[in-house]
Structure 1
Amino acid sequence: MVRRRQVKVREVLGRKIVNNKEYKYTYYTLPLNIYIPKHIVERYDRDYILEINPETGEIRAYPKKLAEQKEQKQEEQQ
């Protein structure tokens, strides 16, 4: 049985000091510390669907917009 839920991407601001220089960076993450590349978040927005299969231990995360597009294509084919 696959568990499915909708989640939002969190924007995390990081800061690191190396050789007396401060570097700031931004990265995006989902629950369970799944990192999402910045260009994917910019392209598909921050709404994602997370599928967890406890039998196989498989975790899938994909943008909600892609899921909606896939459903529309399936409806058009029928």
Structure 2
Amino acid sequence: MQQEAYMPTKPARNKKFLQTILETVPNGILSIDENGDILSLNPKAELIFGYTEKEALGMNITVLMPKPARMEHKLFIRIHMKKSGP
């Protein structure tokens, strides 16, 4: 009896493909939720900001910004949320 080779599903292959890109791209990439809380960081973003992904999870993105940009960002989010709703 011949054993069939395991072939991951297309969504699993896509996820692995995207994960490989995020881990190897020379740019810092992070994702945030609608409140600006960090959901993920790739390895380059960890180097840029000095936090591991585990340390950064749940922190607000404004922590990573220079002080002058923090207020501008908060204003931008407030305006955006009014336009698009929560």
Same fold (TM over 0.5): no
Give the TM-score normalised by structure 2.
0.23
Q: Which has the higher contact order (CA 8 A, sep 6+)?
A: 1
Give the TM-score normalised by structure 1.
0.24
Structure with the higher strand share, 1 or 2: 1
Structure with the higher helix share, 1 or 2: 2
